């Protein structure tokens, strides 16, 4: 038996409580006491507390939340907005939906705290279009908050108006990028914007806007209730608290788990509290640590901790917490082809390198997988990827948003770390794993 170090629950602590997704159930477990406390503080004190907590964005970039808030100009006369990114579309990621389903008022209380701190009187929650049940639970929770006088003309009795709306997306992955999300909220095509200006200065409707992930904002009530120092100590030096990760792929017990920042990939995969290992006789071959856009790791890198800084030396990233495990029966070429098809489909087409490069890489991977490729194709594949984004990952690539990077970096990391798999396909004129895949996925890639 393998056990991970104990983790103090923060996000999932009350999920098993009866009725936790209702206002009554949430208040039974101490809900909205943090908001009462925050409303007694000056907004600047709330922001300072969030900074001290070392809370980092849980949507992918891992940017310090309090620092992000401080970018909002205090002397700008325009209205300020808070936008919640609930467009959880990253393959391998399924955590925010469980917050909406199990503890929606935790998010709503966090929204109220954030809006008080930012001076924002309107919040939009942009939810993934496929979130039918989570969105229904959230709509009910919002209605309960209005009926109880928490939202509306007075924020929990305070002379501060706050209105919260949920907006459903239409299934576009690109709208998970914060500026594309803002464009969509404005009723436009979901095309990312050039930055600068950044949303904190020119965001929704041309006004200062903060865009935060669901898990990020839902972390605020525990921080206010138990203090920034407590939250910071739960994590590591630069990453406070715990985090939710989704474990999928070749493991015995896939699921969404709350883990400590000190928890390693190995613990997540093998510990009895989490993945409980692989089927008998199987071994880990590769792990995608942060959703399909994160560069892949190999079996020698499983001791990497699940905190944001630890992945930088591995030339990867913690991302949105989607951990995908591949065992020694998996074909790396076929796995990468599947990833490449997704980004070819989801590219918005605004930038030439991404619009042309993503389908090109998918076609080359199909050619190699089907035994029709040669070494020049492999060289071309890497050249196309490098034209979209540099390898190793350094800043942003050659596209307006990170979707270009999201498609190019997996290609470069798979080929770099598992080159033998690609060479065998070329030399053997076919996939060593058999099971010819052509004809199953359409002809465009």
Residues 198-239 have pLDDT tens digits of 999 999 999 999 999 999 999 999 999 999 999 999 999 989
pLDDT in the model for residue 370: 93
In a domain, 435, yes or no: no
Same domain for 112 and 255, yes or no, is no
3-state secondary structure of 256: strand
pLDDT in the model for residue 442: 43
Residue ranges in the chain modelled with pLDDT below 70: 1, 394-396, 435-445
In a domain, 205, yes or no: yes
Q: Residue 420 belongs to what domain range?
A: 332-428
Same domain for 351 and 313, yes or no, is no
pLDDT in the model for residue 434: 76
Same domain for 363 and 420, yes or no, is yes
pLDDT in the model for residue 79: 97
Same domain for 120 and 225, yes or no, is yes
Same domain for 87 and 107, yes or no, is yes
pLDDT in the model for residue 6: 86
CA angle 177/180/182 to nearest 5° reads: 110
pLDDT in the model for residue 396: 66
Q: Which of 292, 327, 362 is the last residue of a domain?
A: 327
Dihedral angle over CA of 48, 228, 162, 178, nearest 10:
80
Same domain for 183 and 107, yes or no, is yes
CATH of the domain at 252: 3.10.20.600
Token pair for residue 283? 């071994």
Dihedral angle over CA of 270, 271, 274, 278, nearest 10:
20
Q: Is the peptide bond before 184 cis (omega within 30 degrees of 0)?
A: no
pLDDT in the model for residue 166: 98
pLDDT in the model for residue 259: 96
Same domain for 315 and 224, yes or no, is no
Q: Give me the phi and psi of 430, to 5 degrees please.
A: 170, 170
Same domain for 172 and 101, yes or no, is yes
In a domain, 436, yes or no: no
pTM (global) more than 0.85:
yes
Q: Which of 215, 233, 251 is the last residue of a domain?
A: 233
């Amino acid at each position: 038996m393998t056990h991970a170090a104990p983790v103090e629950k923060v996000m999932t602590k009350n999920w098993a409580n009866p009725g936790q997704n209702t206002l009554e159930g949430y208040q039974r477990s101490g809900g909205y006491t943090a908001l009462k406390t925050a409303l007694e503080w000056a907004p600047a004190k709330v922001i300072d507390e969030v900074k001290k907590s070392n809370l980092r964005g849980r949507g992918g970039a891992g940017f310090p939340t309090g620092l992000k808030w401080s970018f909002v100009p205090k002397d700008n006369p325009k209205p300020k907005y808070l936008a919640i990114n609930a467009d959880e579309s990253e393959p391998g990621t399924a955590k925010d939906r469980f917050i909406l389903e199990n503890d929606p008022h935790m998010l709503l209380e966090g929204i109220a705290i954030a809006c008080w701190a930012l001076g924002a009187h309107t919040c939009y929650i942009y939810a993934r279009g496929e979130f039918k049940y989570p969105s229904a639970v959230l709509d009910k929770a919002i209605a309960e908050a209005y009926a109880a006088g928490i939202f509306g003309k007075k924020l929990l009795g305070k002379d501060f108006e706050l209105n919260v709306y949920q907006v459903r997306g239409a299934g576009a992955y690109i709208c998970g990028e914060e500026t594309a999300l803002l464009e969509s909220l404005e009723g436009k095509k979901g095309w990312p914007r050039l930055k600068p200006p950044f949303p904190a200065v020119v965001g929704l409707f041309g006004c200062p806007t903060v865009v935060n992930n669901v898990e990020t904002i839902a972390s605020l009530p525990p921080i206010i209730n138990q203090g920034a120092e407590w939250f910071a100590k739960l994590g590591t030096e630069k990453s406070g608290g715990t985090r939710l990760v989704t474990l999928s792929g070749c493991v015995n017990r896939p699921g969404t788990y709350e883990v400590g920042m000190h928890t390693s990939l190995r613990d997540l995969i093998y510990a009895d509290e989490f993945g409980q290992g692989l089927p008998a006789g199987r071994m880990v071959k590769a792990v995608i640590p942060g959703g399909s856009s994160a560069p892949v790791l190999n079996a020698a890198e499983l001791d990497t901790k699940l905190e944001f800084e630890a992945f930088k030396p591995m030339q990867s990233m913690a991302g949105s917490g989607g951990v995908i495990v591949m065992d020694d029966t998996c074909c790396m070429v076929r796995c990468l082809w599947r990833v490449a098809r997704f980004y070819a489909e989801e590219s918005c087409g605004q930038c030439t390198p991404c619009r042309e490069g993503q389908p090109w890489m998918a076609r080359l991977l199909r050619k190699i997988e089907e035994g029709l490729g040669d070494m020049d194709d492999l060289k071309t594949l890497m050249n196309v990827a490098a034209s979209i984004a540099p390898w190793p990952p350094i800043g942003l690539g050659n596209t307006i948003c990170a979707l270009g990077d999201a498609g190019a970096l997996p290609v470069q990391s798979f080929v770099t770390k598992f080159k033998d798999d690609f060479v065998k396909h070329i030399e053997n004129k076919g996939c060593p794993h058999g099971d010819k895949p052509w004809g199953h996925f359409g002809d465009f890639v």
